[in-house]
Amino acid sequence: MTPESPESTKDVVMDQPLGRKLVAEYLGSLLLAALVIGSGIAAQRLSPGDTGLQLTENAAATAAGLFTIILMFGPVSGAHFNPVVSFVDAAFGGLPWRHAFAYLPVQVVGCVSGAVLANLMFSASAVSISTTHRATFAHGLSEVVATVGLVLVIFSLARSGRADRAPAAVGAYIGAAYWFTSSTSFANPAITVGRMFSDTFAGIAPSSAPVFIATQVVGGGLALLLVRALYPGIKPAQAAEVVVPHAAASSAR
């Protein structure tokens, strides 16, 4: 099967009603959380006592799965699954602000639903609040770096006419960032909230989540400035091709 051309993908996404986009963002966020948490549970059970191997398994499954779900839902919603990406996209003129605000709660609810689904798939309690504390300076700094990198990957490709490579690049970056950041690269406020609801390998304690979310927002803001500095003079229509191409003229239905 050959991929669609950027022009045809633009047209497909532009024509999607908001309701359909929200369904895609919900399902994509659900699968993202189920992927991250489920693979973490499997790794913990299959490789007990070997944290390095558990992280390798979790990172590999996340990288491959993220690539796939972006391809799956990208032509419908742009495959954000992340409020930071949605709001940076809106700031560049690629997504109407009304859509960005509508995406946010759907992404959060989707990630929480995915955590519940992952727990149930492994015969655990549907909801178990995580006790893994991660709120240190090193973790916060890691989340700034992870989020800056993620946003730079997406928008540098979009602004240089290589948006079709974003699904693979995003998966590869997140897989690598599991290892080069001490926080294991959440880089996403919605997944941070979702991971609070699973007391497993991939979980985060509610007391640590505000630090992660705040630093992710800071990282998104810094990345916005860096993209503007590195890729100046790009028209909004060009800036809008995020994750998979879509048009700034998208209907605000």
The pLDDT score that the predictor gives to residue 12 is: 53
Contacts of 191 (CB under 8 A, 6+ apart): 29, 32, 33, 36, 81, 82, 111
Q: How do residues 138-179 score in pLDDT, each as one tens digit? A: 999 999 999 999 999 999 998 888 989 999 999 999 999 999
Q: Is the Cβ–Cβ distance between 94 and 242 less than 8 Å?
A: yes
Give residue 97's identity as a one-letter amino acid code: W
Mean pLDDT per 10-residue section of the chain, whose length is 253 residues: 42 74 98 97 95 96 97 96 97 94 98 98 97 96 98 93 93 97 97 97 96 98 96 60 48 39
The pLDDT score that the predictor gives to residue 232 is: 85
Q: How do residues 56-81 score in pLDDT, each as one tens digit? A: 999 999 999 999 999 999 999 999 99
Q: Is the Cβ–Cβ distance between 224 and 91 less than 8 Å?
A: yes
Contacts of 151 (CB under 8 A, 6+ apart): 84, 85, 88, 219, 220, 223, 224, 227
Other C-beta atoms closer than 10 Å to the C-beta of 15 total: 12
**How many Cα neighbours within 13 Å face the side chain of 225?**
5
Q: Which residues of 17-56 are buried (b: 16+ CB within 10 A; e: fewer)?
A: ebeebbbbbbbbbbbbbbbbbbbbbbbbeebeeeeeebbb
Name the residue with tokens 């989707």.
110
Contacts of 49 (CB under 8 A, 6+ apart): none
Is residue 40 helix, strand or coil? helix
Distance CA 79, CA 59 (A): 20
Distance CA 56, CA 96 (A): 38
The pLDDT score that the predictor gives to residue 243 is: 61
Class for domain 6-239, per CATH?
mainly alpha
Structure tokens belonging to residue 31: 């699968």
Closest CA to 111 of 41, 30, 37, 40: 30
| Single pTM value for the model | 0.88
Which H helix or E strand runs over 149? helix 137-159
The pLDDT score that the predictor gives to residue 14 is: 55
Q: Is the Cβ–Cβ distance between 140 and 215 less than 8 Å?
A: yes
Distance CA 109, CA 117 (A): 12
The domain locations on the chain are 6-239
Distance CA 246, CA 9 (A): 7
The pLDDT score that the predictor gives to residue 246 is: 52
